[in-house]
Structure 1
C-alpha cells in the first residue's frame, strides 16, 4: 500500500465516529447524526422518537485534531466517551479522497454551522436525512468501505467485523 494513512474508528457505545489522518500528520474527526439531537441538543423523548421513526434533518460534524495520528494523542483531545478505538491503515489516496468529500459537504451553508462544546464539534447540515437505516453507524460503515475496508455484518448497531484494506482482520 502506497502512503499508508492512519484511520481510527471510535466506538462511543450506541454510535460511532471516524478519525482520518492528514498528509501533514494532524487528524480530522467526523460524525454523522440527527441534527436536533446533536446540533440543537434536543434530547427530549419526542425528538428521540422522531429520529428513530421519521426522516429527520441530519448533520455532519467535524473537528480538526493535533497529531501525531496515534491513539494517545487522539484520546487526549476528545471530550466524549470512547468505549473502544480501532486503528486501521488505509491508502493515503483513499483517505484524502474521503476527507475532501466530507470537508466539501461540511463547508456547505457555513451560516448554519453550529459549534457544540459538549461534543467539541462543529455541526453542519447534511443533505441526506437521518433515519433509523441511515444513522451514524451505517454512515461510518459507508465511509470505511470508501477507504477500502471490508465491513461484514449489520452496521445498524455497529455490530460488524472490519477487514483492513491489506487483508488483516480488524475489530469485531
Structure 2
C-alpha cells in the first residue's frame, strides 16, 4: 500500500512539475477541417477549469467534470486541493440543461462561476450527438441521485473514475474534444487553450 501511495505521489509531483514547466504553453485544439454536417459546440474556459456546452434542438446542455469534495461539497483551501491532486478521490460528472437559449452569445447564467473565454468550435453532428447521448445516459443512469452545486450551476453524479492530477477536469474535456474528432496537442492541465485551423499553426 505504501509503495502504491509513493508511486502516486511521485507521479502527481511529476505531472504538476511538467504543468508548471508548460505554464507558458497552451493546449492546441484543431477541429476537423472538412465537415459534412457541422454542429457548433462551445469550449468554456473558466480560468482554472473548463467545461463543454452542446447546443441542441431543445436548448443547450453544459457538462463538466470535477473532484467531488471541491465541486460538490465545497471543500476549499490548500489541503483540499493537494488531497484532490496527490491521490485518487471521488470525481463527479456535472450536467445542466437550459431550454430555449440562443448562442452565441452564451448567457452568463449558464456559467455562474464565471468564465474567461468561450471558444466556438464545430464538429461532425453525428459525433456531437453521440457524445451528448452518452453523457446524458451516464448522468441519468447514475446509482446515486444528482446533487446540485450552486457555485457551478450543475447537477453532479458520481463518476466511475477517480479524480487526481493525471485525471482532472481539463484533461476530461480534452477526452471529450477528441471524441468529437478534434486534435488536441500540448498541455491542457492549466486550462489554457489555443484554437488552430491546422496542426501546423
TM-score, normalisation: structure 2: 0.75
Q: What's the Cα RMSD here? A: 2.1
CA contact (8 A) 1:108 1:124 kept: no
| Matching of residue 111 in structure 1 with residue 144 in structure 2 | yes
Of the two structures, which has the highest relative contact order with CA contacts closer than 8 Å and spacing of 6 or more? 2
C-alpha separation in 1, matches of 2:175 and 2:195 = 12
Which has the greater radius of gyration?
2
| Cα separation, partners in 2 of 1:169 and 1:88, compared to 1, 3 Å | farther
What is the Cα deviation at residue 39 of structure 1? 1.0
Specify the SS of the correspondent of 2:114: coil
Match of 2:55 in 1: 21
Match of 1:123 in 2: 156
Specify the SS of the correspondent of 2:128: helix
**Alignment gaps of 5+ in structure 1:** none
CA contact (8 A) 1:58 1:128 kept: yes
CA contact (8 A) 1:112 1:124 kept: yes
After TM superposition, the structure 1 = structure 2 runs for residues 79-118 of structure 1, keeping only pairs within 5 Å, are 79-109=112-142, 111-118=144-151
What is the Cα deviation at residue 154 of structure 1? 1.2
**Alignment gaps of 5+ in structure 2:** 1-34
Number of residues of Structure 1 aligned to a counterpart in Structure 2: 166
| Matching of residue 3 in structure 1 with residue 33 in structure 2 | no
Match of 1:132 in 2: 165
| Cα separation, partners in 2 of 1:41 and 1:132, compared to 1, 3 Å | same
C-alpha separation in 1, matches of 2:70 and 2:119 = 25
Per-residue deviation, residues 116-168 of structure 1 (Å, max 9, x unmatched): 122211011000000111111100011001111111111222334444xxxx3
TM-score, normalisation: structure 1: 0.87
CA contact (8 A) 2:69 2:75 kept: yes
C-alpha separation in 2, matches of 1:138 and 1:111 = 24
Specify the SS of the correspondent of 1:111: coil
CA contact (8 A) 1:67 1:73 kept: no
CA contact (8 A) 1:152 1:160 kept: no
Instruction: Please list every run of at least 4 consecutive aligned residues from structure 1 whose deviation after the TM superposition is greater than 6 angstroms.
Output: none
